[in-house]
Amino acid sequence: MKGLMMHRPLKIADLITFAAENYPSGEIVSVRTEGDIHRTTYLETSKRVARLAHGLRRLGVKEGDRIATLAWNGYRHFELYYGVSGIGAVCHTINPRLSAEQMIYIVNHADDRLLFVDLTFVPIIEKLREQLPQGLRIVVLTDRAHMPETTLDGVLCYEEILDGETDSIDWPDFPEDQAAGLCYTSGTTGHPKGTLYTHRSTVLHAFNMCVTIPKTLCEGTRILPVVPLFHVNAWGLPYGAPLSGAGLIFPGGALDGKSVFDLMDREKVFSAWGVPTVWLGLMNEINQRGRLPEGFGDIVVGGSAAPRSLIEAFETKGINVCHAWGMTEMSPLGTQCNLPPQLQQLPLEERLDRKQSQGRRVFGVDMKIVDDAGNRLPHDGKVSGHLYVRGNTVTSGYFENPEASKEVFDAEGWFCTGDVAAIDADGFLKITDRSKDLIKSGGEWISSLDLENIVMSHPGVAGCAVIAVPDPKWDERPLLIVQARDDAQPRKQELIDLLAVRVAKWQLPDDVVFVEALPLTATGKVSKLTLRKTYAEDME
């Protein structure tokens, strides 16, 4: 028997409409590429989004068209999130840190109709233009006064698209499974793969965030998304913040420790979201100034595992650290590690043990771990296995890529994350490594992640990575690669001694290599693929 309730499709545009009605003065502050600070509200933004939607239609944008963005975090980029999806088109965010080859592939594979680009990235498109779709039209995210001189033909000005349009709109109805967003993985193996989000999955993800992280996502708080809008929808903040009434402070392209500190201090940011490398820079700035930014009380850290030393540094200064985990294919939030009340009273070391895990699942995400044969393993916190997920915010397949889709789902329809993990009886997830980053030495597994976390506690280490290198006797052995801090150069034996206290002798790296800088992927993670090519392949 079916229930007797109305069924209205979940639509992204309803989020900004809701915010305009319920939180009209909720603020969006942006550091602009033009060099100034821009301030607006959810009410004013909803009007500009309506004008943008009308302007897109005037340009011939239809339902299902892919509309690309190449931009920093800012109010115009935020407007595109709603104006594009609101009329049934697909907002395709592109990471400007991708290689030229990957960017060319992505734009052509998505068959983008329009590309909205920040001033900073116009030179990139000038170099790639001949290899992009011929019918692609370029829009620069600025006003006429700041339009750059460019070799690109027929370039449009963003503000002129909005000029003359009405600031109200009746958003069209369409099914809630209409495509709304497109984000590609960074393609560490093979071509990048596209995750195609729906209105339903995006709205549900926003609700999940607000329910799971209520102390941060609530009316009146001010949140700094250091995580880029081009990286899996800034972890959902462009949707969760308007739904909850939280304000957004967009940093533009300046993500160094000093710039982030100054912006947070001036705008009284309560919560900041981003990857560990950003927080290491912020912590250095905090230590140099001897104080925290005014109003600062919370960070959400993800993208890669947060070192225990980083979590401890913030927690001992009174900053709550929420260690989170997810994937592009998951919208992206899968787990979060805000501790329940009974665990917040634990001694610091025990709290850090919990905080270093990836935390408990968010509503709507189911998790299981299995062995190599696909058999389910117990959630006892001791046994590790391959991590699989399913849920309403998890992809059901890659965009226009059936071959890649077949490889990542099991017979029950669960998605393979590529992570190796344990789950304890309380539901806390602990990622022990990426499947491809585990080191098998003499038939025994060594976790590169465990070794890295220990090394990162050394005050002279700015960053590190552990990779497997071939070994004629043991098959593989760990190699430690270290980027030292500018003011300190640890000795090899110091780092080995540090590890020897915590791990078995056979797990110790055979060598330590110091580098000036670690290679990073387009999403700010250490590129172990690059390191393996540099070091492991040379040793074969």
Asked if 540 and 523 count as a contact pair (C-beta separation under 8 A), the reply is no
CB count in 10 Å sphere of residue 159:
18
Q: Which residues pair with 274 in a beta bridge?
A: 301
Residue 446 token pair: 């060594």
**CA 23 distance to own-chain centroid:** 26
Q: How far apart are CA 108 and CA 102, in angstroms?
A: 10
Q: How far apart are CA 45 and CA 75, in angstroms?
A: 8
The residue type found at 386 is: H
72 noted as active-site residue: no
Q: Which residues pair with 138 in a beta bridge?
A: 115
Three-state secondary structure readout of 339-375: CCHHHHCCCHHHHHHHHCCCEEECCCEEEEEECCCCC
Long-range contacts of 99-108 (CB under 8 A, 24+ apart): 99/522, 100/127, 100/128, 102/186, 102/187, 102/191, 102/192, 102/522, 103/128, 104/128, 104/131, 104/132, 105/187, 105/191, 105/192, 106/184, 106/192, 106/194, 107/68, 107/132, 107/133, 107/136, 108/132, 108/133
Of the residues 62, 215, 268, 440, only one is catalytic, namely 440
Asked if 397 and 416 count as a contact pair (C-beta separation under 8 A), the reply is no
Q: How far apart are CA 322 and CA 337, in angstroms?
A: 5
Of the residues 45, 69, 185, 216, only one is catalytic, namely 185
Of the residues 79, 159, 329, 452, only one is catalytic, namely 329
* Residue of 54, 48, 52 lying closest to 69 (CA atoms): 52
Strands (E), 99-241: 114-117, 137-140, 156-157, 179-184, 194-198, 222-225
Of the residues 400, 445, 506, 537, only one is catalytic, namely 445
Asked if 142 and 116 count as a contact pair (C-beta separation under 8 A), the reply is no
* Residue of 10, 73, 16, 8 lying closest to 243 (CA atoms): 16
126 noted as active-site residue: no
445 noted as active-site residue: yes
Q: Which residues pair with 390 in a beta bridge?
A: 366
What is the enclosing helix (H) or strand (E) of 451? helix 448-455
**Cα 31 to Cα 184, 226, 511, distances in angstroms:** 26, 12, 44
- For residue 332, is the peptide bond before it cis, meaning its omega torsion is within 30 degrees of 0? yes
Q: Is the dihedral of CA 261, 262, 267, 273 positive or negative?
A: negative
**What is the Rg, in whole angstroms, of the alpha carbon atoms belonging to the chain?**
23
34 noted as active-site residue: no
* Residue of 177, 274, 194 lying closest to 234 (CA atoms): 274
Catalytically annotated residues: 185, 329, 440, 445
